[in-house]
Amino acid sequence: MTEIFGKPLPVILGQTLIGLINGSFYALLSLGLAVIFGLLNIINFTHGAQYMMGAFAAYFLLNKLGVNYWWALLVAPLAVGVTGMVIERLMLSRLYKLDHLYGLLLTFGLALIIQGVFRQEFGSTGLPYSIPESLSGGQNLGFMFLPNYRAWVIAASLFTCLATWFVIERTKLGAYLRAATENPAMVQAFGVNVPRMITLTYGFGVALAALAGVMAAPIYQVNPLMGADTIIVVFAVVVIGGMGSIMGAVVTGFGLGIIEGLTKVFYPEASNTVIFVIMAIVLMIRPQGLFGSR
Amino acid sequence: MHFKRKLISTAAILALSAGAAHAQISGNVIKIGVLNDQSGTYADLAGPGSTLAAKMAVEDFKAANKGFTTPIEVIAADHQNKPDVGSQIARKWYDSDGVDVIVDVPTSSVALAVNQVTKEKGKALIVSTGASSDLTGKACSPNTVHWTYDTWQLANGTGSAIVKTGGDTWFFLTADYAFGHALERDTEAVVIKNGGKVLGKVRHPFPTADFSSFLLQAQASKAKIIGLANAGADTTNAIKQAAEFGIVKGGQNLAGLLVFLTDVHALGLEKAQGLIFTESFYWDLNDQTRAWSKRYGAQIGGKMPSMGQAGVYAGVLHYLKAVAALKSDDGTKVVAKMKELPTDDPLFGKGSIRADGRKIHTSYLFEVKKPSESKGPWDYYKVRATVPADQAFRPMAEGGCPLVAAK
């Protein structure tokens, strides 16, 4: 059997693929954060809670209203996105003139409140959510058993990330958005409703988090604290990629997923810390992040 | 200080002459403190449910002992699974709030810390959800009773039963901290003692959300049994993802070394079916457990009790019986009385408490039902084997408890 550094090749291939799957979640979540930071200059600490709300929304749609997974992929992000827009209108919009720190504190506090309320209501153990019938089962790839659902996660995440990048970097709407962050007054003068655009952007970023939540629901427990655990890693991903860089978030998301996966083969005990070690190194060598411009 | 003590003793004498029933009860009230995780990972398997169980014990005790007029209070606090927070609350409760007994205390590290404080203060501690068998081993105390289960019982019950029914090759998924290591060590010893083999193990960080890579390693080991030496969300996530990777369908079996009813409820039968593990209690064992659990469920939104919550009820009930028999709430004396009196309650049946503080009762090996076998909500387990009380727990001589050695 072929071996690399004393580990059989099939194991390495398997872990790389699994890393890619985890990377899909990192990419989707960090993408939302990057969009929000890039266009609103808000460090959205509520992101983890909104990811969790997406998973819960999927659970309720299925169990209370009989709405299946596929519709939940559409409905849950919309619903959670609307709550995000309400938050932006009522609270965040009052903070744009102030220091970053205020936005950070507000969103962090909101995250704690939302998680606390969910925990109070639904307990801490979590709720079950099954993989949709059409995606259960899996393929034997020779070197590993790949569940169909995980393959779908990679595909869906890649598509969403690339589509988002395309819209922001290559379309007219994206050009407005980028212009509005550079010089809101000027864009307003051209007749574009900047505040509304910002609200919609925040809603979109939040919807991305909720989408990741729906996709995570069948894999992880639907648990009030699921976002709190993930968000820290995702912030590290965003910092490594460069705050606000869309492509940076996507590439580092997938890349770090793979590195984390390989760490699990060679030294499993370090798999939770490896991302932070990389973050420390990147910050020392290139403080603006791998893809950051400033 | 001296004067104050005199004053107190004078007051005590006055109280003594006032009414015999209140003779030795400090503050003329028995205060029971439920100390556990009220909001985090273990809040569902202990938490507010344990508080309710303690209150039910008080109710039932009062109904059966109309002559016992001393008021009994139940209070609760959240130790957040942190030893420092737990011992701080215990000190405050004992020193200034007049708490006589602390019950429940999940999370071994916290239980061991509170064990120490209780011994110092001469109060009483009844551990129900805490797991470490050290509580009746090298850390045993004349002030502590370990009621429901411990790591030795889990390892022994599950490990030997599985090896004997053909599961003789094992791979461990172990939470990388003291509790996981202990559980893995104890189980490995049992597996080897019964002629089985351990093919490999992987230590995963605590907590871990994604087990897929560890499961792949377990799958590649071709071991018949994958032992989960972890707890709570780690266990449920591992089980959920094992189903996804077709591990059980591929002929390997999972052994949850610490699984609570609430975990199975969170997983759903589809994912949890076939899982084998040891517990001391299940709501659907007999008429008495069913009746009690229905009463419990009616007050907490239809949930059924975990073995930890059941242990809180039984432990508090037995504690109150000892207090009534002794007419005193002096911690050390009450615990000694608890060991002297045979135990009898609707949930664990008849039993006893050993000199090292270990409560002895029947232990069960459960298997989770297939969805087709389940008749309704919370109908999850079937009994696969019953381990008699005298074999379920570590023999007293092997625990290394100084209380026993001194005799």
pLDDT computed for residue B5 by the predictor = 56
Cis peptide upstream of residue A147 (ω within 30 degrees of 0): no
Considering only CB atoms, which chain B residues are within 8 Å of A225? Answer: 40-41
Residue with the two structure tokens 């109150």 = B320
Residue type, B67: G
Asked if residue B21 has pLDDT above 70, the reply is no
Of A279 and B3, which is predicted with more confidence? A279
Q: Is the pLDDT of residue B27 over 90?
A: no
Residues B45 and B125 in one domain: yes
Tokens of A171: 């379309």
Residue B17: its pLDDT value, please?
44
Same domain, B175 and B270: yes
Q: Which residue has the tokens 């004349």?
A: B142
Which positions 206-235 of A are in contact with B (Cβ < 8 Å)?
Answer: 218-221, 223, 225-226, 229-230
Establish if B13 belongs to a structural domain.
Answer: no
State residue B311's pLDDT score.
97
Letter for the amino acid at B349? G
Among residues B318, B383, B304, which one has the least CA distance to residue B58?
A: B318
Q: Is B39 within 8 Å of A119 (Cβ atoms)?
A: yes
Q: For the sheet containing B30-36, what is the strand order? A: B72-78, B30-36, B101-104, B124-127, B144-146
Contacts of B265 in chain A (CB under 8 A): 125
Say yes or no: B318 and B254 in one domain. Answer: no
* Residue-level pLDDT at B109: 86
User: Considering the domain boundaries, does residue B406 fall inside one?
Assistant: no
| CA geometry: angle A42, A43, A44, nearest 5 deg | 95
Q: Cα B164 to chain center, whole Å?
A: 26
**Are B198 and B221 members of one domain?**
yes
Question: By CA distance, what is B48's nearest residue in A?
Answer: A123
Task: Please provide the average confidence, as pLDDT, over all residues in chain B.
Answer: 90
Per-residue pLDDT reduced to its tens digit, A95-120: 888 888 899 999 999 999 999 899 88
| Within a domain: B17 | no
User: Does residue B115 share a domain with residue B200?
Assistant: no
| Mean pLDDT, range A21-33, rounded to an integer | 92
Nearest CB neighbour to A15, from listed B208, B213, B271: B213
What is the CB-side half-sphere exposure of residue B9 using CA atoms within 13 A? 6
What stretch of H or E contains A146? strand A145-147
pLDDT range class, residue A210, cuts 50, 70, 90: very high
Q: Are residues B68 and B211 in the same domain?
A: no
Are B216 and A131 within 8 A, CB to CB? no
- How high is the pLDDT of residue A257? 93
Both tokens assigned to B304: 């059924």
Shared domain for B226 and B142, answered yes or no, is no
Answer yes or no: is B160 within a domain. Answer: yes
Cβ–Cβ < 8 Å for B335, B325: no
**Once rounded to an integer, what is the mean pLDDT over residues A31-47?**
89
Same domain, B368 and B350: no
pLDDT band at B232 (very low <50, low <70, confident <90, very high): confident
Residues of chain A neighbouring B261 (CB-CB closer than 8 A)? none
Tell me phi and psi for residue B101, to 5 degrees.
-145, 140
Tokens of B170: 């094992």
Verify that B167 and B231 share a domain, yes or no: yes
Two tokens, residue B240? 């959920």
pLDDT digits (tens, 9 = 90+) for B352-393: 999 999 999 999 999 999 999 999 889 999 999 899 999 999
**Pair B141, B267 in one domain:** no
Of the listed ranges A131-140, A249-258, B286-295, the least confidently predicted one is A131-140
In this predicted structure, what is the pLDDT of residue B8? 54
pLDDT value, residue B23:
53
Q: Which residue has the higher pLDDT, B185 or B321?
A: B321
pLDDT for A127: 83
A126 Cβ under 8 Å from any chain B Cβ? yes
Q: Are residues A268 and B214, on separate chains, in Cβ contact within 8 Å?
A: yes
- pLDDT over 70, % of chain B: 94
Q: What is the mean pLDDT of chain A?
A: 89
Q: Residue B6: its pLDDT value, please?
A: 53
Is residue B5 a part of any domain in this protein?
no
Residue B150 pLDDT = 92
* Closest to B97 measured CA to CA, from B147, B176, B31: B31
User: In which band, very low, low, confident or very high, does the pLDDT at B1 lie, cut at 50, 70 and 90?
Assistant: very low
pLDDT of B10 strictly over 80: no
How far is CA B382 from its chain centroid? 20
Answer left, alpha or beta for residue A207, where phi above 0 means left and psi between -120 and 50 means alpha.
alpha
Lowest-confidence segment of A56-65, A177-186, B228-237 by average pLDDT: A177-186
Closest CA of chain A from B292, distance in Å: 22
**B265-296 pLDDT per residue, tens:** 988 898 888 888 999 999 999 999 999 999 99
Q: What SS3 state is found at A68?
A: coil
HEC string of chain B equals CHHHHHHHHHHHHHHHHHCHHHCECHHHCEEEEEEECCCCCCCCCCHHHHHHHHHHHHHHHHHHCCCCCCCEEEEEEECCCCHHHHHHHHHHHHHHCCCCEEEECCCHHHHHHHHHHHHHHCCEEEECCCCCHHHHCCCCCCCEEECCCCHHHHHHHHHHHHHHCCCCEEEEEEECCHHHHHHHHHHHHHHHHCCCEEEEEEEECCCCCCCHHHHHHHHHCCCCEEEEECCHHHHHHHHHHHHHCCCCCCCCEEEECCCCHHHHHHHCHHHHCCCEEEECCCCCCCHHHHHHHHHHHHCCCCCCCCHHHHHHHHHHHHHHHHHHHHCECCHHHHHHHHHHCCEEECCCEEEEECCCCEEECCEEEEEECCCCCCCCCCCCEEEEEEECHHHHCCCHHHHCCHHHHCC
Q: What per-residue confidence (pLDDT) applies to A267?
A: 85
Average pLDDT over residues A24-33: 93
User: B328: which 2 tokens?
Assistant: 């005193």
Give the Cβ contact number of residue A266 at 10 Å. 14
Q: How far apart are CA A274 and CA A178, in angstroms?
A: 33
List, in sequence order, every residue forming a beta bridge with A139; answer none if it has no partner. Answer: A146
Q: Of the candidates B232, B222, B202, which has an alpha carbon nearest to the alpha carbon of residue B214?
A: B202
Q: CB-side exposure of A45: number of CA atoms within 13 Å? A: 16
Which residues fall within 8 angstroms of residue B354, CB to CB, at 6 or more apart? B136, B339, B360, B396
Angle at A174 between CA A171 and CA A178, to 5 degrees: 140
**Chain-chain contact of A221 with B233 (C-beta, under 8 angstroms):** yes
- The per-residue pLDDT for range B300-346, each reduced to its tens digit, is 989 999 999 999 999 999 999 999 999 999 999 999 999 999 999 99
**What's residue B220's pLDDT?**
87
Considering CB atoms only, which of A124, A127, A147 is closest to B244? Answer: A147
The answer to whether the Cβ–Cβ distance between A127 and B266 falls below 8 Å is yes
Helix/strand/coil (H, E, C) string of B113-130? HHHHHHHHHCCEEEECCC
Question: Is a pLDDT exceeding 80 seen at residue B15?
Answer: no
Select from A125, A131, A229 the residue whose CB has the most chain B CBs within 10 Å, as the one to mutate to test that interface: A125
CA distance B307 to B330: 28
Q: Does A145 touch chain B (CB under 8 A)?
A: yes
| 3-class state of residue A252 by DSSP | helix
Q: Which residues pair with B33 in a beta bridge?
A: B75, B102
* Phi/psi at A139 (5° precision): -115, 140
Q: What's the gap in Å between the CA of A253 and the closest CA on chain B?
A: 16
Over 60: is that where the pLDDT of B13 sits?
no
Question: CA-to-CA distance for A172 and A233, rounded, in angstroms?
Answer: 33
pLDDT band at B3 (very low <50, low <70, confident <90, very high): low
In terms of domains, do B348 and B311 share one? yes
Q: Which residue range(s) make up the domain with B174?
A: 154-279+363-389
Query: Which chain A residues have a beta carbon less than 8 Å from that of B266?
Result: 125-128, 221
Q: Looking at beta carbons, which residues of chain A come within 8 Å of B42?
A: 124
The domain that holds B197 is classified in CATH as 3.40.50.2300
Note the Cα B220 to chain centre separation in Å.
Answer: 35
Selecting from B205, B237, B271 the residue whose C-beta is nearest the C-beta of A272 gives: B205
For residues A182-187, give the mean pLDDT: 84
Measure the N-to-C terminal CA separation of chain A; round to a whole number of Å.
47
Concatenated DSSP letters of A174-222: HHHHHHHHH-HHHHHHTT--HHHHHHHHHHHHHHHHHHHHHHHTTTS-B
Domains and CATH numbers, chain A: 3-285 (1.10.3470)
Does residue B32 have a pLDDT over 80? yes
- What's the gap between Cα B109 and its chain centre? 14
Task: Examine the pLDDT at B11 and tell me if it is beyond 60.
Answer: no
Q: Cβ of A94 under 8 Å from any chain B Cβ?
A: no
Chain B residues with beta carbon closer than 8 angstroms to that of A131: 244
A42 and A203 in contact (C-beta within 8 Å)? Answer: no
Please give the residue that has the higher pLDDT: either A103 or A7: A103
B198-222 pLDDT, tens digit each: 999 999 887 788 888 889 889 889 9
Domain-located, residue B329: yes
Helices within chain A (DSSP H only): 9-40, 47-65, 69-90, 100-122, 148-170, 172-182, 184-189, 194-216, 226-241, 246-266, 274-285
Q: Do B143 and B181 belong to one domain?
A: no
- Decide if A50 contacts A84 (C-beta within 8 A): yes
φ/ψ of B338, rounded to 5, equals: -60, -40
In this predicted structure, the answer to whether residue B19 has a pLDDT above a threshold of 70 is: no
Tally of domains within chain B: 2
Indicate whether B226 belongs to any domain: yes
Q: Does A18 touch chain B (CB under 8 A)?
A: yes
* Short-list A252, A208, A216, A215, CA closest to A233: A252
Residue B262, in any domain of the structure? yes
Can you give the pLDDT at residue A18?
86
Chain A residues near residue B232 by CB distance under 8 angstroms: 125
Cβ partners under 8 Å of residue A132, min gap 6:
A68, A69, A70, A149, A218
